[in-house]
Structure 1
Amino acid sequence: MKKAMPLRELLPLLGMTVSAFIFNTSEFMPIGLLTDIAAAFHITEAQAGMLITAYSWVVTLLSLPLMILACRMDFKKLLLGTVGLFGICQILSAVSPNFTVLLLSRLGVACAHAIFWSIASPMAVRLVSEEHRSFALSMIVTGTSVAMIFGLPLGRMIGLTVGWRMTFASVAVVAFIVLFYMSALFPKLPGSQSFTLTQLPELFKNPVLMGLYGITFLFATAYYTGYSYIDPFLQQVAGMPAGLITLALTVFGVAGLLGSFLFSKFYDRMRYSFIQMALLGITLSLLLLSPASVSSWAVIALCVLWGICATAFNVAFQSETIKASSESASAVAMSIFSGIFNLGIGCGTWLGGTVCTYGSIAWIGFAGGIVGVIAAVGFCLVLAPNMKRAK
């Protein structure tokens, strides 16, 4: 029987969970505020979408090198510096006089994001005793899931009530509260053994890992082709009022928790079928987005399916990435996973913006759905056979 987690482990872990919440809330906030930000600076939604694209590409470029550097540093100092940078850049976002300054401040947040998600899981595991490591990792995932449920719609509600600038300011306040909390309660935690670039070829020679990265990129591209512009889509195409849009985004996040629950119940028994169903559900959600827009409730029902499958896929592929890599390289493998996922976010946002600019915002679901079909076929024909041979 497991012993209860002592407070010296639980309290800093709670701080890490709240940190995960605000970092992911911040990443997705511009999605719910895109229309208001575009209007404030007299630009198009596609131009405002650069806040998401540039952010994700910075994370893509910096995740791996920062992970390698982070291995050599005291984790507490690194964490406090990261949260401090995050909070300062949120303030700069709130007071930005023009779109260029807002974009630069978001790039600063992206740098903090790249560092945080390179060290979050290793730190959480090292904070606790071995018997509580699974719980520690689940707490980090919980912070991310709660951000999807409440963070994005809460940010949008703040933006609708007192303006989008106050949304960034509110996140800054929480960040500085977390900073002071962690400075008092987080223990000294020396960096782990360094990982060098000379060890990377071993990862890149792993066919299963390369397949996981490839499908992850396609999934994220498909997903964010539609999701990055879901707010203006629901306004302009589905004709939904502000309150119903907030409800749809909330339902999307809550459905994600159900996806996480289904993962815990069924994944070990049906790994390949589980991933296939998740990819199929995401692809169908995107392809049916425009046809469903004739009914607000049909769109909300589609958001339920979309949210379930997106979270289920994400958790499953993180699990597969850890399984496919050695224990010593798992943190770097996850860092690369994060970078590739964010590359997909940037490409998806760019693709969706291109569709909006040169076509119609009503087509974003079709564009994302085509990429989703490629991902599903790639998994069934290439990755799944490699995974079975590697068992």
Structure 2
Amino acid sequence: MLKHHPHAPILLAYLRVFAISVAAFVVCTTEFIPIAMLTDIGKGFNMSAADTGIMITVYAWVVSLASLPLMLLVANAERRRLLLALFAVFVAGHGLSAVAWSFPVLLASRVLIAFTHALFWAITASLVMRLAPVGRRQQTLGWLSLGTSMATVLGLPLGRLVGQWLGWRFTFALIGMLALGVMVLLAKILPRLESKNAGSLKSLPLLAKRPHLLGMYAMAVLIVSAHFTAYSYIEPYVLEITHMPPDTATALLLVFGLSGMMASWLYSRFYPKHPNPTLLSSAALLLVSLLLLRPLGGSMAAMFALSLVWGTGIGVLGLSMVAHVIRYAPDATDVANAIYSGSYNIGIGGGALLGGIISRHWGLGTLGWVGTALAAAALAVFAWTQLGFKIKQT
């Protein structure tokens, strides 16, 4: 029994962090799974992949708009009960997705799920750091990233395979069943977790006076838009531009996801001692990947290599931006993370929408160029707000 083990408290702490990482895997899988099934979902409703891509935009923008208001509404709520409640809604939303009889109903189910997503990411980073063993906070944040990475390693490719074999509806049903299992696990092992340093409405004027924090929000919008302008349409891109067979396209998604494991290790290795260089380097990797997307798009081998670099860049970057936000707002972590989550999802929605417009009017081959321009703008914001000001806390 775990409770009789001499290192039981440490093992239990790791188990709790692991459980939340699994929860992150499920939440991230459902956020991005439409990317792997746009074509199949479109066929189910007699729509094009570009038109069904609105699912990604709507989901992301609901998260962006709901994150802060929902966080303020439940700022004082006990966290264990809150997690269980949001997962109950999450499961119900996937049941509706699985039986959706029209595209508007499918969109409505995604909106319901997006509300749970908004709250989950507003509170999760601070929770894993509270639950972490002493001296292991940055490491456990890396575990959380591993959960999100595994969503692309396993979630997207397996979701695509399940969708190909049994239909996209079964994929949504399967995610709902996994979420139910996670909810049971969290109910069994999480302690009571009172709200701590969550912040409140009164925190907003204080946070607004911190230029580094505001800069991270602006950078998140731009750099995530850059990424998702191209990544949202990576499936049709490699099918039409690279001329990959469908099974090879699935393998490419797997490679992209595997890079997230490398990203988690690189973050844990370099960020604690070199936060700004780590963030800057990962953003530069993303920019270079987008710049090379079209020149290398005709080669399958080059696209696999590029996916590895691209995935590593966005993986390290996402972790680094979260850590920067926590660093700049230790007194209001949940509110600050809610704003960050909103900013990130504005980027997802904006990128997906922009990518859809570009692919319809100028072709898939131009997505990388637009992403490169947005990434360059994000790096300019970083240079101005993170390196141009002397760090100070208000």
TM over 0.5: yes
Of 54-63 and 114-123, deviating more is 114-123
| Distance in structure 2 (CA, Å) of the matches to 1:142 and 1:252 | 13
Q: Which moved more, 1:279-288 or 1:191-200?
A: 191-200
What amino acid sits opposite 2:262 in the alignment? L
1:137 aligns with 2:169: no
Q: In the alignment, which residue of structure 2 is the partner of 1:79?
A: 83
Q: 1:172 to 1:389 in 2, by over 3 A?
A: closer
TM-superposed deviation, 1:189: 2.5
Give, as a single letter, the amino acid of the residue that structure 2 aligns with 1:287: L
Q: State how 1:204-283 maps to structure 2 within 5 Å.
A: 204-283=208-287
CA offsets per residue over residues 132-175 of structure 1, 9 Å max, x none? 54454333222112112211111111111211111111101111
1:370 to 364, 370, 373: 373
- Look up the match of 1:100: 104
* TM-score, reference length from structure 2: 0.92
What displacement does 1:237 show? 1.3
Q: Find out whether 1:122 has 2:123 as its counterpart.
A: no
CA distance in 1, matches of 2:276, 2:112: 39
Q: Distance in 2 between matches of 1:287 and 1:10?
A: 40
Within 2, Cα distance between the matches of 1:263 and 1:190? 29
**Greater CA drift, 276-285 or 33-42:** 276-285
What are the residue-to-residue correspondences of 1:296-307 with 2, within 5 Å?
A: 296-307=300-311
Q: Which digits, 9 at most, give the CA deviation of each residue in 1:47-100, with x for residues without a partner? A: 111111000111111111222222222222211111111011111111111111
- In the alignment, the residues of structure 2 paired with residue 180 and residue 270 of structure 1 have an alpha-carbon distance, to the nearest angstrom, of 39
1:356 alignment partner in structure 2 = 359
Distance 1:385 1:365 in 2: 29
Q: 1:314 and 2:318 equivalent?
A: yes
More deviation, 294-303/13-22: 13-22
Equivalents in 2 of 1:239, 1:255: separation in Å?
Answer: 23
Match of 2:3 in 1: none
Distance 2:229 2:112 in 1: 24
Candidates 39, 52, 58, aligned match of 1:54: 58
The 8 Å contact of residues 77 and 195 in structure 2, kept in 1 or not, is answered as: yes
Tell whether 2:28 aligns with 1:24.
Answer: yes
Range with bigger deviation, 361-370 or 263-272: 263-272
Match of 2:174 in 1: 170
Residues 89-141 of structure 1 show CA distances to partners (whole Å, capped at 9, x for unaligned) of: 11111111111110100111101101111222233334455445445433322
Q: Which runs of 5+ in 1 are unaligned?
A: none
TM-score, length-scaled by structure 1: 0.93
Relative distance call for 1:76 and 1:276 in structure 2 (3 A) is closer
Q: Measure the CA separation in 2 of the matches of 1:167 and 1:199.
A: 40
1:285–1:276: structure 2 CA closer, same or farther, 3 Å change rule? same
| Contact 1:5 1:132 (C-alpha < 8 Å) held by counterparts | no
Alpha carbons 2:200, 2:332 under 8 Å: kept: no
Structure 2 regions of 5+ residues with no counterpart?
1-5
Identify which range, 34-43 or 178-187, moves more after superposition. 178-187
Aligned letter for 1:184?
A: K
Number of aligned residue pairs: give it: 388
Match of 1:154 among 148, 155, 158: 158
SS at match of 2:295: helix
Are positions 1:332 and 2:327 aligned together? no
* Residue type at the aligned position of 2:265: F
Q: How well do the aligned residues superpose, as a CA RMSD in angstroms?
A: 2.1
Partner of 1:342: 345
Amino acid at match of 1:68: L
Aligned residues: percent identity? Answer: 36
Q: Which amino acid aligns with 2:332?
A: A
Preserved contact between residue 28 and residue 151 of structure 2 (Cα < 8 Å): yes
Q: Report the residue type matching 1:242 in the other structure.
A: P
Q: Is the 8 A contact 1:220 1:345 kept in 2?
A: yes
Of residues 214-223 and 36-45 in structure 1, the stretch that sits farther from structure 2 once superposed is: 36-45
Residue 68 (structure 2) pairs with residue 64 (structure 1) = yes
Q: Deviations over 1:217-236 (max 9, x none)?
A: 10000000000010111111
Measure how far apart 1:378 and its partner are: 2.6
